[in-house]
Structure 1
């Protein structure tokens, strides 16, 4: 980090060095989540440490740099995992469809799925539910889920979730796969057992130690890293991806994948990518980050697959549980089972369905028809932006996203997509401003 964030330009409190340490260790840009939030987390962890052991902030800094456990505690405190079931549902629907095709082409071999990093397990379990509901029996797929945080993995293995894990309008899956228990919901053991959770550092994995995966979900992670760390992560992921496999990322990361040579799977709203057919080797052009002295050494392990033996490789970054979190977003109302969500207009729902089916021209006409009656609807302009992106109409897509943000400055999807567009255009500072704006909106909502 060339300079400390503005909040610590005059760092009389001594917190700025922790921000620099987090950047060196995990690639975190403090501005992506808010420098003041990082400062609060540092102070909270320091006060807990001081109450237990005594000592100054200088003493705590030395403890963090010398003890991997203290470093991990600080990472866990800096950004709390923020994930939920069936986020971006089109991605899971696409994965299930592609898995059926994969099994048809290769009936003797189960499909392999990796969630990395998996945070508290919602993503991996959503994959399992999606595959089972698509008619794929449990013995026809394997799901591995890795994260560096044992605290997050303990939550995942327990498979018991509160209201915050269930968001959006469609919650019927909760009735099918969960039972009310202890003030929350307990996942069906049959589904919970279909996922293998392991502690591992994504950026220290040796791809040669793995049987490759047909599908990898690494969503809303790369946006928190600088360019070198992004390239390191992408190289690891590409090494883990099977020939003909599909990599799912977050909406704000699509520009990065296209810039680095991956091909869009052209599935609307799924944010899915494949390695180009002519590419046999790793496609990512960026260089590896400089090696840093690791502050935390984790011993990755697998509970059920002897082929998963993670060997440390450069660079020695630590990938924390928070990296599975999506970019800062607007607060989404969480509904009790008795509450009913407002229904989206039928004709806009129809437009989305057409886009999901790949009928882009019909979807655009339906969205425009809706706008003729509701000219101030940000969701319709956002959908037109996605359609334009799928058509390769770069200028039109950016115009639609900007219109959506004019009408709704806190529109999460429009912010994420426009940031990806700007990044693809080489406007990294503009993209970062949009992501920082999303962070301020999220902080205000909380």
Structure 2
């Protein structure tokens, strides 16, 4: 992953509770790029202030400079997770980009017709869990309890959202967005008015932390489908390419990669080619499938 390009910030002054200099922002920008691959441009300075100011209050620090100093110290190791969690974006909802789910259902049917007895899906940016639960509901609606076993690996960088996903508990307004009949079929209403995904759904999904830019991943199987939607937009192109290169051997030769509505990976045509609207398949590589030994390796 290349170094961040130099940044020129506009000279705009705000009355802020804590000092937040351009130098502080640059240090934070380099840290989040190094740890999470997120590339922040000049327009994100106010967002960074808003996301981190609560941490500075809670820690009773006097400035952002002190906060960044803490992050670089031995004592700041525990805080680093809070720092990364605060700067990651977790916008999601059930059946977001709904055109993907009928395509997934058809793909799963084809795999089952070809004799597959187990199907594996990786949701690589699972956020608070709405996406992997949508995948699980799609699988159950596809096979109606008869067919291959479907398992879903749900990973994210943010440990707080992963815990929400594991519990599978959501407010009524989120569940109200489900297709007709799905709320009653797949969720239990709790005494406090919240809704929890039924055990049948929760048992299909394994939630775990994974950082897409780390040199080693904790996933070591081939998947029938990989969902990586609306996360690559936060990476520069070199980082995107490196991740796509690592996705390729983790996807079955006939598998599908589902990406976000504004993501286009034409520059990775040596690994993936566009099959349909924001859906990719393996690009032919000398007629040979990727070797299993390449699974989950670093960039190389």
Asked if TM exceeds 0.5, the reply is yes
> Does 2:26 match 1:36?
no
Once the two structures are TM-superposed, the CA of residue 93 in structure 1 deviates from its matched residue by 1.3
Number of the residue aligned with 2:214: 204
Within the candidate set 196, 209, 231, 2:241 is matched to: 231
Task: Write the mapping of 1:49-64 to structure 2, written as runs, cut at 5 A.
Answer: 49=59, 51=60, 54=61, 57-64=64-71
Once the two structures are TM-superposed, the CA of residue 59 in structure 1 deviates from its matched residue by 3.3
DSSP-derived class of the 2:230 partner: coil
Within the candidate set 77, 80, 87, 2:96 is matched to: 87
CA distance in 1, matches of 2:34, 2:237: 13
> Does 2:178 match 1:175?
no
**TM-score w.r.t. structure 1 length?**
0.56
Ranges in structure 1 where 5+ consecutive residues have no aligned partner: 283-309, 316-446
DSSP-derived class of the 1:202 partner: coil
DSSP-derived class of the 1:111 partner: strand
The alpha-carbon distance between structure 1 residues 97 and 3, as it changes in their structure 2 partners (threshold 3 A), is same
The alpha-carbon distance between structure 1 residues 209 and 128, as it changes in their structure 2 partners (threshold 3 A), is closer
Task: Write the mapping of 1:370-381 to structure 2, written as runs, cut at 5 A.
Answer: none
Number of the residue aligned with 1:118: 126
CA distance in 2, matches of 1:162, 1:5: 42
Which has the higher mean CA deviation after the structures are superposed, 162-171 or 38-47?
A: 162-171
Aligned alpha-carbon RMSD (Å)? 2.9
Q: Post-superposition, which runs of at least 4 consecutive aligned residues in structure 1 deviate over 6 A?
A: 8-11
Once the two structures are TM-superposed, the CA of residue 206 in structure 1 deviates from its matched residue by 4.5
Which has the higher mean CA deviation after the structures are superposed, 237-246 or 21-30?
A: 21-30
The alpha-carbon distance between structure 1 residues 132 and 311, as it changes in their structure 2 partners (threshold 3 A), is closer
CA distance in 1, matches of 2:255, 2:67: 45
Task: Write the mapping of 1:3-402 to structure 2, written as runs, cut at 5 A.
Answer: 3-4=6-7, 6-7=9-10, 12=21, 14-16=23-25, 17-31=27-41, 34-49=44-59, 51=60, 54=61, 57-66=64-73, 67-107=76-116, 109-135=117-143, 137=145, 140-163=149-172, 165-166=174-175, 170-181=179-190, 182-204=192-214, 206=216, 210-253=220-263, 255-256=264-265, 258-261=266-269, 262-266=272-276, 269=277, 271-279=278-286, 280=288, 313=298
DSSP-derived class of the 2:99 partner: helix
CA distance in 2, matches of 1:46, 1:278: 50
The alpha-carbon distance between structure 1 residues 313 and 92, as it changes in their structure 2 partners (threshold 3 A), is same
| Matched pairs, number | 279
Relative to its length, the structure with more helix (as a share) is 1
CA distance in 1, matches of 2:254, 2:43: 35
Once the two structures are TM-superposed, the CA of residue 12 in structure 1 deviates from its matched residue by 3.5
Number of the residue aligned with 1:285: none
DSSP-derived class of the 1:24 partner: helix
Ranges in structure 2 where 5+ consecutive residues have no aligned partner: 14-19
**TM-score w.r.t. structure 2 length?**
0.81
The alpha-carbon distance between structure 1 residues 96 and 68, as it changes in their structure 2 partners (threshold 3 A), is farther
Number of the residue aligned with 2:16: none
The alpha-carbon distance between structure 1 residues 167 and 276, as it changes in their structure 2 partners (threshold 3 A), is farther
Once the two structures are TM-superposed, the CA of residue 74 in structure 1 deviates from its matched residue by 1.4
Once the two structures are TM-superposed, the CA of residue 58 in structure 1 deviates from its matched residue by 3.4
Give the conservation status (yes or no) of the 8 Å contact 1:263–1:276.
yes
- CA offsets per residue over residues 83-127 of structure 1, 9 Å max, x none? 1110111211111111110111124x3111111021111111111
- CA offsets per residue over residues 2-53 of structure 1, 9 Å max, x none? 233535789746531212322333222324983311122232222222x2xx
Give the conservation status (yes or no) of the 8 Å contact 1:121–1:156.
yes
CA distance in 2, matches of 1:21, 1:208: 23
Give the conservation status (yes or no) of the 8 Å contact 1:83–1:165.
no
CA distance in 1, matches of 2:53, 2:205: 36
